[in-house]
Chains A and B, each alone.
Chain A
Amino acid sequence: MSDIEERFRALKQREEGALIGYITAGLPSIKDSFQIAKALVEGGVDILELGIPFSDPIADGRTLQFSNYLALKRGVKPKMVLELSAKVKDELKIPLAILSYFNPIYKIGVEEFLALAKDSKVDGLIIPDLPIDEGEDYVKLARKYSIDTIFLAAPNTSEERLHRIVDSTRGFLYLISLYGVTGEREKLADYTLNLIKSFSWVKSKVNLAVGFGVSNSKHIKELIRAGVDGVIVGSAFMKIVNEGKDLELTVRNLEDLAKDLKEGTRFKDIY
């Protein structure tokens, strides 16, 4: 069992959902990025996603587009993100996934990248523009290096296809909550909770986590109550980082947000 799967198992025993926190690596600066990761973990994030910035993040809304742009402008490179991963794993002892669009990985070479990721103690990989159909070789290689292949499913994914996605998935299945890009929303989409119901059969095979638009503890309570094993929050964290002027204050705000969101995942025990 991978570190990610182990963490889900432990949380399920405690009847908690997993809070999965995404940050774009290298912000507010390469030097201070570790502090951001630490703030999330200390606030209660259970699994961390570190994003490799990309020039053309087509699945992302304004907040993460901006953080990708900013990180590149500050000189963040894929290999620096892997170095940060190793440090986070060593010092914070948290299950960790890398999120990257496919081209930076392809450029390094899929196997080379997986080998580097393994050396950097990365537990899982999320590639938003690599669907299963294009990922056969990647899945095989990831098994060889024991790295979780975290695939995404969408509201319009057919059941037949979902079976194939689940078969290729390790760590957790990343369910996109809505039609659209990442970014904060006031409300969950009206179809999201029904969507979770229709996807609930996958939970006997993989952990099910929901992301895109998940912005506050109210959303999280609704989602956990609907039966998901975890929630993914990115833009709400990165908005604080993008707008932060003072590192200390940023760290405090992130920690507070993570605490509040983590409370939402403990909602289960009321039922």
Chain B
Amino acid sequence: MKLSEYPIKGRFGNFGGKFVPETLIEPLEELERAYKEIKEDEGFKKELDYYLKNYAGRPTPLYYAENLTRYLGGAKIYLKREDLLHGGAHKINNTLGQALLAKRMNKNRIIAETGAGQHGVATAMACSVLGLKAEIYMGSKDVERQKLNVFRMKLLGARVNPVESGSKTLKDAINEALRDWVTNVENTYYLLGSVVGPHPYPQIVRDFQSVIGREVKEQILKLEGKLPKALVACVGGGSNAMGIFYPFIDDDVELYGVEAGGKGLHTKEHSSTLVAGEEGVFHGMKTYLLQDEDGMIRETHSIAAGLDYPGVGPEHAMLKAIKRAKYFSVTDNEALEAFLILSKFEGIIPALEPSHALAFTFQLAKKLSKEDVIVVNLSGRGDKDVELVQRVIKVE
């Protein structure tokens, strides 16, 4: 069986499923039906392509990082420039797709969760341009840490609801969005931001993000006349990684996912769910989790807020279990170093999230030959992180 055929009956092997309160079963089935319909609909595809091209700025370049390649002295490194998209990250691929889907379903009220605010901002943008009402749930701790993104969301016309429960971060924002959804199922569309949650979300988000990998395939064949040796992407929930992996999933291409190692795996302050977690059920899915010995969900840490989540998409869980993809962990400090190196050698300031993918790529490139090609998904730009980086290191 081809891996690209998953999910099968809402599952990725043993993972995925729909572990939700009964009230959400009906709206999830409604979503599944609506998605099936638009997936084959040429009109929908055309409309989405229009917005991806003219509003978001697709296709994004596949850039050969020559300076970096020379500096490392190994495999050729290409960067997929999702950082150049409107909003500064890959998130807009998904929010435009789902917002258009919500419109088709006649749901005019959109709710979403956000951690650092990137998905919240991308949701607010898509809703603004498509004439939908957006309400964003955000942990109150994140509201405090990410004031600028809160302001951006408000400028874009969204309402931001701070969440005071639990650890007051992303997982609690998702909890609260789910509570809102069970209360307002009739008129509300829940626009999830990653390849997580109950079926069909992991599939929907992956499909909308797969435009990344499809473009890479076309571009690299034109540039190099062959498929890359390896693809590298960072993994929090895992949407940018699934987006670049999926079109290559049945090809002879190595897939590497890089998780946030925070202050190190020997501490509890990390977000390396696949590398250091274990199976469990959370946010509607069976997947790998960071949890304590009683099955309580743990608080996590990463310098990159976009990777700071105790679960991970169920498709990644499957790819790990069957060893189709390999997952590694990179610490805050290693990511910071990569952040500096890319800025200096290529004049590109990456977000801290893909800086994790870069840090791993630096090790991998040195082990491969000069004929090999690595494509890294540069999923977001670093403007949002500049202030934080300035605080933690001294730039000479």
| Mutual binders A and B | yes
Scoring B residues 184 to 218 as 1 if CB is less than 8 Å from chain A, else 0, what string do you get?
11100000000000000000000000000000000
**B20 on the interface (CB 8 Å rule)?**
yes
Q: With A58-B21, A129-B20, A176-B23 as known contacts, state yes or no: A104 contacts B295, CB within 8 Å.
A: yes
Asked if A78 and B295 make an inter-chain contact with CB atoms under 8 angstroms apart, the answer reads: yes
Contact size range, A:
35 or more
CB < 8 Å neighbour of A130 from B19, B178, B183, B283: B19
**Across-interface contacts of A102 in B (CB, < 8 A):** 19, 281
**A246 on the interface (CB 8 Å rule)?**
no
CB < 8 Å neighbour of A103 from B184, B280, B293: B280
Asked if A58 and B17 make an inter-chain contact with CB atoms under 8 angstroms apart, the answer reads: no
- Bound form: Cα–Cα A17–B179 in Å: 30
- Nearest chain-B residue to A103 (Cβ)? B295
Asked if B294 and A65 make an inter-chain contact with CB atoms under 8 angstroms apart, the answer reads: no
Instruction: List residues of B (159-190) whose CB comes within 8 Å of A's CBs.
Output: 165-166, 171-172, 175, 178-179, 182-186
A157 CB to nearest B CB, Å: 6
Q: With A129-B21, A131-B19, A179-B184 as known contacts, state yes or no: A78 contacts B26, CB within 8 Å.
A: no
CB < 8 Å neighbour of B179 from A58, A78, A104, A161: A58
B111 CB to nearest A CB, Å: 14
- Bound form: Cα–Cα A176–B26 in Å: 14
Scoring B residues 225 to 254 as 1 if CB is less than 8 Å from chain A, else 0, what string do you get?
000000000000000000000000000000
Asked if A157 and B25 make an inter-chain contact with CB atoms under 8 angstroms apart, the answer reads: yes
Q: With A78-B295, A108-B295 as known contacts, state yes or no: A103 contacts B23, CB within 8 Å.
A: no
Q: With A69-B165, A103-B295 as known contacts, state yes or no: A133 contacts B182, CB within 8 Å.
A: no
Asked if B18 and A106 make an inter-chain contact with CB atoms under 8 angstroms apart, the answer reads: no
Asked if B17 and A103 make an inter-chain contact with CB atoms under 8 angstroms apart, the answer reads: no
Asked if B294 and A78 make an inter-chain contact with CB atoms under 8 angstroms apart, the answer reads: yes
Instruction: List residues of A (22-72) whose CB comes within 8 Å of B's CBs.
Output: 54-59, 61-62, 65, 69, 72
Instruction: List residues of B (263-320) whose CB comes within 8 Å of A's CBs.
Output: 279-284, 289, 291, 293-297
How many A-B Cβ pairs are below 8 Å?
109
**Across-interface contacts of B184 in A (CB, < 8 A):** 179
Q: With A154-B22, A176-B22 as known contacts, state yes or no: A104 contacts B183, CB within 8 Å.
A: no
- Bound form: Cα–Cα A59–B186 in Å: 17
Instruction: List residues of B (115-168) whose CB comes within 8 Å of A's CBs.
Output: 165-166
CB < 8 Å neighbour of B296 from A55, A108, A128: A55
CB < 8 Å neighbour of A158 from B26, B171, B179, B294: B26
A170 CB to nearest B CB, Å: 17
**Across-interface contacts of A134 in B (CB, < 8 A):** 17-19
CB < 8 Å neighbour of A56 from B23, B183, B282, B293: B282
Q: With A106-B281, A179-B185 as known contacts, state yes or no: A77 contacts B26, CB within 8 Å.
A: no
- Bound form: Cα–Cα A134–B172 in Å: 24
Asked if A65 and B165 make an inter-chain contact with CB atoms under 8 angstroms apart, the answer reads: yes
- Bound form: Cα–Cα A134–B14 in Å: 12
- Nearest chain-A residue to B165 (Cβ)? A65
- Nearest chain-B residue to A128 (Cβ)? B21
Scoring A residues 78 to 111 as 1 if CB is less than 8 Å from chain B, else 0, what string do you get?
1000000000000000000000001111111000
- Bound form: Cα–Cα A8–B339 in Å: 65
A186 CB to nearest B CB, Å: 16
Q: With A55-B296, A104-B296, A179-B183 as known contacts, state yes or no: A156 contacts B175, CB within 8 Å.
A: no
Asked if B20 and A161 make an inter-chain contact with CB atoms under 8 angstroms apart, the answer reads: no
- Bound form: Cα–Cα A157–B291 in Å: 32
Asked if A106 and B295 make an inter-chain contact with CB atoms under 8 angstroms apart, the answer reads: yes
Q: With A107-B295, A179-B184 as known contacts, state yes or no: A131 contacts B20, CB within 8 Å.
A: yes
- Bound form: Cα–Cα A104–B19 in Å: 14
Scoring A residues 140 to 173 as 1 if CB is less than 8 Å from chain B, else 0, what string do you get?
0000000000011111111001000100000000
Q: Would you list 21 pairs from A and B whose C-beta atoms are within 8 A, ordered by A residue?
A: A55-B296, A56-B171, A56-B172, A57-B175, A58-B178, A59-B182, A69-B165, A69-B166, A78-B295, A103-B282, A103-B296, A107-B293, A107-B295, A131-B21, A152-B21, A153-B22, A156-B26, A158-B26, A176-B23, A179-B186, A180-B182
List residues of chain A with CB under 8 Å of any chain B CB: 54-59, 61-62, 65, 69, 72, 77-78, 102-108, 128-131, 133-134, 151-158, 161, 165, 176, 179-181
List residues of chain B with CB under 8 Å of any chain A CB: 17-23, 25-27, 165-166, 171-172, 175, 178-179, 182-186, 279-284, 289, 291, 293-297
For the complex with contacts A106-B281, A133-B18, A153-B22, 10 further pairs of A-B residues with Cβ separation under 8 Å are A55-B166, A55-B296, A103-B296, A107-B294, A107-B295, A129-B21, A129-B284, A134-B17, A134-B19, A155-B23
